[in-house]
Amino acid sequence: MTTDDAIAVRALRKTFGAGKAPVVAVDGIDFTVARGGTTALLGGNGAGKTTTIGMLLGLLLPTSGTITMLGEDMLRHRHRVLARMNFSSPYVDLPRRLTVRENLTVYAHLYGLDRTAERIAALARDLDITAFLNRPTGNLSAGQKTRVALAKSLLNDPEVLLLDEPTASLDPDTGDWVRGYLEGYRARTGATILLASHNMAEVERLCDQVLMMRQGAIVDRGPPADLIARYGRTTLEEVFLDIARNRRADGAPAGQGEAAQ
Amino acid sequence: MTGPVPGTAGRRIMGVLLRHLYVLRSSWPRLLELAYWPTVQMIMWGFITLFFQSHSSWVAQAAGVLISAVLLWDVLFRANLGVSLTFMEEMWSRNLGQMFVSPLKPVELVGALMLMSTIRTLISVTPAALLALPLYDVWVFALGPPLIAFFANILVFGWCVGLAVSGLVLRFGLGAESLAWVAVFAVAPLSGIYYPIATLPEWLQPLSWALPTAHVFEGMRAVLFDHQFRWDLLFRAVGLNLLYLALAVVFFLRTFHVARVRGLLLQQGE
């Protein structure tokens, strides 16, 4: 890891279950994410993306390996680091009965923020959620919920932002708005973003690095344009299909590891 | 770019408290439910008291003994529910994972659960305690300062049961949620709520004395019947509570650690 890395993962492994047939969810992966960069974690269902993000967030303990986040050992000092990062996913609801303002107030307290009301008002203006600040979160549309989740994830001005499918189930217009907002946030703050997504166009637009996962391992990596060129394809989606179906860059089936390079 | 200064534990605990106070504030059925059962219990045991006053010389000596007992028992029941339901609310709303990607520490959640339990318990039993005066001429606050000692000890033991139940729910999922309503009844026969511990078979009495509740209810009867505050009973109740509270907190934190190993924080909900 260098001081320019926001995230450094070394030999990270996670197995579930014990005895004769433990399930290897993440199989000794290594990667770094440079400060200010946007990296995508890609892979089919069950590739190990959610498990990896769970470990990066401290929700899941690795079986072995190390995670260094913003220069801190995540396994030993996660509470120090968690104040400087945040997370958003359309699959993780905020309490539905609470209004948007109440939810944001609760999380502002959890992140130890001062001048909570001002912070919420500023974010609400930024993300265009002022009109429904006093509505129960459960009554919002998918697009509105995504913007509220994004507001929650930006409350503490995170230096590292982890996003799990940030535009899943959004209409193209709202999805484009979210992508534009994230681009602007990174440019404005220099934050580091790691996102998992199944939307390859989104990844091509937002990310300068891609980590391709299959069966718990990182099987390829690089800037989207490099991957597309290396596989002789025209889109990242085609590259994704090659990797998910275990085809080499030249079209022949590939083995494990980063053999396609 | 510099990150925000990590907030204090008190601020994070306040955050969790706010989350649950907002839920209570926005839902009058929840508030009603809190006060409903203790009030019904008090009314029922009030009538039983009226009946026994003319049929039992024991009850006649201290008219408030049954009503005071049922209210203290409700403190235990509600303190337990105050912890376990507050915790399960996070699981029902799939919010536990979201909370723990913030700097909130598990031990701070424990603190918030205890405070929320205290608030819910006070909301539950205060109306019933106040209504006992106009309905049955029983003023439980006449117990005076000992009432605070009894209340505090029962409350803490309720937290212990609630934390144990919450740990089990975290470990085994919401399929175990009914434990929140039934677990506390396991200690009811041994607690001597409505009868002296001496009523129990001799071989069962040591088990009973291992519970802080037995000391509290005996202490309550000593005040009501003998007008004597038994410090020995209070000290034993406090000692046992400290032991059980330490065990319950360690059990909950250990279960939380296991949940992080097994990925249970990522797989909540029904």
Where does CATH 3.40.50.300 sit in chain A? 1-78+160-167+191-261
Complex ipTM, two decimals?
0.88
Nearest chain B residue to A158 by CA: give it: B3
Cα separations in angstroms, A123 against A111, A149, B81, B123, B180: 15, 11, 36, 36, 39
Residue A7 near residue A69 (C-beta atoms within 8 A): yes
Q: What is the pLDDT of residue A17?
A: 85
Q: What is the pLDDT of residue A220?
A: 93
Q: Which chain A residues are Cβ-neighbours of B261 within 8 angstroms? A: 60-61
Q: Which chain A residues are Cβ-neighbours of B28 within 8 angstroms? A: none
Using only C-alpha atoms, chain B has a radius of gyration, in whole angstroms, of 20
Residue A201 near residue A194 (C-beta atoms within 8 A): no
Residue A173 near residue A5 (C-beta atoms within 8 A): no
Q: Name B155's Cβ contacts closer than 8 Å, sequence gap at least 6.
A: B75, B76, B79, B117, B118, B121
Architecture per CATH, A1-78+160-167+191-261 = 3-Layer(aba) Sandwich (3.40)
Q: What is the pLDDT of residue B234?
A: 95
Convert the pLDDT of each residue in A137-190 to its tens digit: 999 998 899 899 999 999 999 999 999 988 887 888 888 988 999 999 999 999
Residue A129 near residue A148 (C-beta atoms within 8 A): yes
CA distance A123 to A133: 11
Cα separations in angstroms, B202 against A162, B206, B222: 61, 8, 21
Cross-chain Cβ contact B27/A86 below 8 Å:
no
Cross-chain Cβ contact A111/B7 below 8 Å:
yes
Per the document, the length of chain B is: 270
Cα B245 from chain centroid (whole Å): 12
Token pair listed for A78: 């996660």
CA distance A46 to A52: 11
Q: What is the pLDDT of residue B65?
A: 84
Task: List chain A residues with pLDDT less than 50.
Answer: 252-257, 259-261
- Phi, psi torsion values for B92, nearest 5 degrees: -60, -40
Cross-chain Cβ contact B93/A59 below 8 Å:
no
Average pLDDT of every residue of chain B: 90
A114-118: Cβ within 8 A, 24+ apart: none
The three-class DSSP label of residue A58 is coil
Of B12, B97, B261, the CB nearest to A61: B261
CA distance A41 to chain B (A): 18
Strands lying side by side in the sheet with A192-196: A85-88, A160-164, A192-196, A38-43, A209-214, A217-222
- pLDDT tens, chain B, 270 aa long: 444 445 699 999 999 999 999 999 988 888 888 888 889 988 888 888 888 877 777 766 666 788 889 999 999 999 999 999 999 999 998 899 899 999 999 999 999 999 999 999 999 999 999 988 888 888 888 888 888 999 999 999 999 999 999 999 999 988 888 888 899 999 999 999 999 999 999 999 999 999 999 999 999 999 988 889 999 999 999 999 999 999 999 999 999 999 999 988 876 554
Q: What is the pLDDT of residue B1?
A: 43
How do strand A64-69 and strand A72-73 relate by DSSP bridges?
antiparallel
Cross-chain Cβ contact A97/B94 below 8 Å:
no
CA distance B196 to B209: 11
Nearest chain A residue to B104 by CA: give it: A110
CA distance B84 to B179: 9
Token pair listed for A39: 């990296």
CA distance A123 to chain B (A): 16
pTM of the model: 0.90
Q: Kindly list the domain boundaries of chain B, sorted by start residue.
A: 9-266
Mutate to test the interface with B, among A106, A115, A137 (most CBs of B within 10 A): A106
Q: What is the pLDDT of residue B62?
A: 65
Nearest by Cα to B230 from B214, B240, B219 = B219
Cα A225 from chain centroid (whole Å): 20
